[in-house]
């Protein structure tokens, strides 16, 4: 459905994208996961025909992004960052406008957007600028969907939104998948990666890896332990100083630790830490998550 071949793009002296290639199949949810500045927005703009790549080619639904841009613009939905809506128009006016622009109407495609739109319908007379972040997000999604696009491009749709709204949003996306819509979603939140069919981890203009979340996790090269104790801050310092420990990072309620030497055991670590007066120690071997993989690869 969407494929990229050796796409490169630079602004002034900055290389935003370096030789990027990937494919997305029909009906897939493809996540582009990476921090700000990694090149996500640039990539989206090239795929939605808003920008020209310096090198490389890209195809969307069989059309070339350069030559057939008009055709592509008829069939895709796009939600750029910052939920670009008309702040001084009401919810209703926004969606009707975008529907008309795409030669359709809210009534015609109501079933498609109903799940999402029904959340904000009670506020349809309210100006878009006065909605909360989560509501704006839903409105922006409805507007991007209203014409039943073949491919949906969502550029950081969950940024700056609270965890609950984020969870709801991804639930809506999965439902859209059932309608056969292909989706490319970019996000800086690693925990959202697990909700995609396949993901590409991107950092500084390059893809570190492209695969299903499960496969990426399987390819994690290290043994990973989680370590908890009473004084987490001091614990982290001591962990970092241990010669057998390759890396130690805080991960919320526990620390994730990778081991340099396979002979090293959790029991040995526990002894070492107890000697340093750490209490309530819990050390477990754990499965890595996408964030661990990202940090390993970058």
Q: Which residues bind other proteins (CB under 8 A)?
A: 34-38, 45, 48-52, 70, 73-74, 76, 78, 80-82, 84-89, 93, 96-98, 100-103, 119-120, 122-123, 126, 130-135, 143-144, 156, 159-165, 167, 188, 190, 203, 232-233, 249-253, 291, 294-295, 298
Select 103 or 263, whichever has its Cβ closest to other proteins: 103
Q: How far is the CB of 35 from other proteins (least distance, A)?
A: 4
Q: How far is the CB of 119 from other proteins (least distance, A)?
A: 8
Q: How far is the CB of 79 from other proteins (least distance, A)?
A: 8
Angle, CA of 147, 112 and 69, to the nearest 5°: 25
Select 10 or 21, whichever has its Cβ closest to other proteins: 10
Q: Is 164 helix (H, G, I), strand (E, B) or coil?
A: helix
**Using CA atoms, how far apart are residues 114 and 290, in angstroms rounded to an integer?**
32
Select 250 or 268, whichever has its Cβ closest to other proteins: 250
Select 231 or 265, whichever has its Cβ closest to other proteins: 231
Q: How far is the CB of 190 from other proteins (least distance, A)?
A: 6
- Mapped to the 3 state alphabet, what secondary structure does 145-184 carry? HCCCCCEEEEECCCCCCCHHHHHHHHHHHHHHHHCCCEEE
**Using CA atoms, how far apart are residues 269 and 272, in angstroms rounded to an integer?**
5
Nearest Cα residue to 297 out of 36, 114, 101, 33: 33
Q: How far is the CB of 164 from other proteins (least distance, A)?
A: 5
Select 80 or 157, whichever has its Cβ closest to other proteins: 80
Nearest Cα residue to 295 out of 96, 33, 120, 90: 33
Select 271 or 277, whichever has its Cβ closest to other proteins: 277
Tokens of 75: 């069939």
Q: How far is the CB of 250 from other proteins (least distance, A)?
A: 6
**Using CA atoms, how far apart are residues 182 and 290, in angstroms rounded to an integer?**
22
Are 255 and 195 within 8 A, CB to CB? no
């Amino acid at each position: 459905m969407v494929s990229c071949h050796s796409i490169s793009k630079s602004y002034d002296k900055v290389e935003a994208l370096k030789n990027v290639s990937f494919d997305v199949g029909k009906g897939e949810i493809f996540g582009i996961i990476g921090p700000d500045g990694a090149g996500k927005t640039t990539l989206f703009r090239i795929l939605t025909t808003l920008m020209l790549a310096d090198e490389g080619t890209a195809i969307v639904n069989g059309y070339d992004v350069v030559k057939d841009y008009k055709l592509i613009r008829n069939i895709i939905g796009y939600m750029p960052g910052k939920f670009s809506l008309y702040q001084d128009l009401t919810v209703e006016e926004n969606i009707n406008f975008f529907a008309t622009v795409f030669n359709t109407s809210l009534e015609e495609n109501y079933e498609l957007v109903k799940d999402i739109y029904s959340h904000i319908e009670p506020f349809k007379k309210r100006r878009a600028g006065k909605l909360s972040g989560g509501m704006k997000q839903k409105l922006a999604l409805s507007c991007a969907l209203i014409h039943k696009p073949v491919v949906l491009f969502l550029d950081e749709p969950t940024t700056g939104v609270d965890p609950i709204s984020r969870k709801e949003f991804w639930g809506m996306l999965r439902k859209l998948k059932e309608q056969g819509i292909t989706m490319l979603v970019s996000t800086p939140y690693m925990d959202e990666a697990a909700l995609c069919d396949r993901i590409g981890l991107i950092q500084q203009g390059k893809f570190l890896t492209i695969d299903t979340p499960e496969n990426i996790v399987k390819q994690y090269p290290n043994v990973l332990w989680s370590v908890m104790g009473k004084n987490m801050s001091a614990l982290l310092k001591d962990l970092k100083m241990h010669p057998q420990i390759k890396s130690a990072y805080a991960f919320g309620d526990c620390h994730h630790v990778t081991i340099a030497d396979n002979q090293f055991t959790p029991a040995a670590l526990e002894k070492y830490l107890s000697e340093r007066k750490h209490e309530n120690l819990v050390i477990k071997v754990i499965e890595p998550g996408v964030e661990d993989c990202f940090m390993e690869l970058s």
